[in-house]
Amino acid sequence: MKLINKSNLGLVLLGFILQFSIQLHAQYLTLEDAVTTALKNNPKIKQYSEKSAQKKYADMEAWGNFLPKINVTASYTHLNDPLILDLNPIREVIIGIQSGNQAELTNIYNIIQNGAALTDQQKAYAAQQASAQLNAAIPSFDEIFKDQDYKTATIVGVQPIFMGGKLLAAKKFASDELDASEVELRKTRDDVIQETVNNYLTVVFLLDVVKTRENVLSGMKRHEAMAEKLLQQGLIANYNMLRAKVAVAEAERNLFDDNNKLELSKTALKSMLGIQEDADIQIRDSLVYSDNLGGFNSYLDKAMDQQPVLKLISLKKDAAHQKYNVERSKFLPQAGLFGQYEMYPQYLSCVEPRWAVGIQVSLNIFNGFQDYANLQTASHLEDEVKYLEADAVRNIRLLINKDYKDAANSKERYLKTDESISLAKENLRLNERRFDTGLGTSLEVIDAQLSLEKNEIESKQSLYDYYKSLTALNVNAGNPEEVLKIWNKAEGK
């Protein structure tokens, strides 16, 4: 007896350990947990986060256009020969002229002193002596202009003064791109929230459907057992028994199909959350009605003020205007200061300055009509974005109107199913009682059971459509976080 007790105790402990292990590995999810996990793991959100980080640095780069650009360039050069400035031909001409003049002066002096002129041979000799003296006295007219090996190191600074408004337009464009990347990130987050909520709602809806199918199957099996007893007692025909068995088979098939749909919906949810397919997730929520549908105008006003698509188009419109300003700047003069300083003055030639400063102004006079064409392109781009914004506003209004009507219709359809479910339950109770007393048929009981099942599933379907439409309505109104508040309120959290 003691051995049996110990064995039973071991089995109890083993069952407890297995149950605890299953619960330990199971992950209980709430809607808020699902959304948080999806936002954390979704790769597209990470992609747009990186894009936003890129635009932050691009905006920082645009600020740099207003600051001076300072560069240091250094080089070492080896020439095949030094650069020489050779003016010896001029020196030879000077010596030749001066030698001739000196020979004539010697001739004149000899006429005055001796009364006779020099012969041509004597004049040539005098010019030759004067040329030799001048050649020895006058240095060579050549100088090294640049050494064969020389180094340079130059600091150059440029400060833009006026660029026709191009720099300011580029900065505003970069700021618009940064804001647009943040809006795109927000829109991506909204899309992820909506898809996660829809997947979560699908799982919850199918869980409720499976419970309904299980209740129906249980009822069908009870009816089958009762029919078998009545058949054995000879109170009903064999047809009723066969109909009960067919109803049980159909209920089992429906339950099997919905269980498969449930597993598929869980797989889709796990994929959205970025967790492994073999992970076991458990959801305890169920579809519970809560009246959270506000006024139509409140959703429309929020959409016009907060809808990411409209904000994105507004930023693109401003970016198109900045592009127009950039193209217009090409028709205006551009001015800037510049300065340079040479760090190796010993290698400079006699015509190269060590430092220089100045101002530069340029104005394009003719560019083959390219600047005019680009300006007109930018102008038409502005008009295109303006019409795009008008069309987007119209579509957002239509979308909000559709989502609101879908939510209102689902709400009304759900409210009307309550009475139908009550009547279907009473009808099932009466038909089961009639069948038990032999006054009713199996077909009547099965039809009553199927009618109740149909109404209960339609009720859950209406609730599912209601919350799905509410989700779309709040997301399109630019307020997806409201979906979590609505769900928590409905669940009493």
Residues spanned by the domain of 52:
28-67+164-202+269-330+367-490
Answer yes or no: is 12 within a domain. Answer: no
Does 292 share its domain with 392?
Answer: yes
Strand partners, 342: 154
Answer yes or no: is 458 within a domain. Answer: yes
Residue in 489, 490, 477, 396 with CA at minimum distance from that of residue 193: 477
Answer yes or no: is 44 within a domain. Answer: yes
Classify residue 123 as left (phi > 0), alpha (psi -120 to 50) or beta: alpha
Q: Over 50: is that where the pLDDT of 314 sits?
A: yes
Tell the residue number behind the tokens 């640049």, with chain if given: 146
Q: Over 60: is that where the pLDDT of 18 sits?
A: no
pTM for the whole thing?
A: 0.76
What residues have CB less than 8 Å from 450, skipping those under 6 apart? 216, 247
Does 484 share its domain with 428?
Answer: yes
DSSP 368-420: TTHHHHHHHHHHHHHHHHHHHHHHHHHHHHHHHHHHHHHHHHHHHHHHHHHHH
Does 283 share its domain with 187?
Answer: yes
Answer yes or no: is 351 within a domain. Answer: no
Does 135 share its domain with 174?
Answer: no
Check if the beta carbon of residue 70 is closer than 8 Å to that of residue 152.
Answer: no
The whole-angstrom separation of Cα 195 and Cα 482 is 15
How far apart, in Å, are the Cα atoms of 193 and each of 166, 189, 400, 408?
Answer: 40, 6, 18, 22
Does 315 share its domain with 416?
Answer: yes
Does 94 share its domain with 61?
Answer: no
Would you give the DSSP letter of residue 343?
Answer: S
> Taking the CB of residue 130, how many other CB atoms lie within 10 A of it?
19
Q: Average pLDDT, stretch 156-176?
A: 91
Question: What pLDDT, on a 0 to 100 scale, did the predictor assign at position 22?
Answer: 39
Q: Over 90: is that where the pLDDT of 421 sits?
A: no
Does 438 share its domain with 483?
Answer: yes
Report how many domains make up the chain: 2
Answer yes or no: is 304 within a domain. Answer: yes
Does 41 share its domain with 100?
Answer: no
Answer yes or no: is 254 within a domain. Answer: no
Mind listing the pLDDT tens digit for each residue in 462-492? 999 999 999 999 999 999 988 888 888 766 6
Would you give the DSSP letter of residue 347?
Answer: G
Tell me, what CATH number does 460's domain have? 1.20.1600.10
The whole-angstrom separation of Cα 263 and Cα 255 is 12
Answer yes or no: is 412 within a domain. Answer: yes
Does 482 share its domain with 378?
Answer: yes
Instruction: Give 27's pLDDT tier (boundaries 50, 70, 90).
Output: low
Mind listing the pLDDT tens digit for each residue in 29-71? 889 999 999 999 989 999 999 999 999 999 999 998 899 999 9
Mind listing the pLDDT tens digit for each residue in 343-386? 988 888 777 889 999 999 998 888 888 989 999 999 999 999 99
Classify residue 492 as left (phi > 0), alpha (psi -120 to 50) or beta: left
The whole-angstrom separation of Cα 96 and Cα 109 is 20
Answer yes or no: is 179 within a domain. Answer: yes
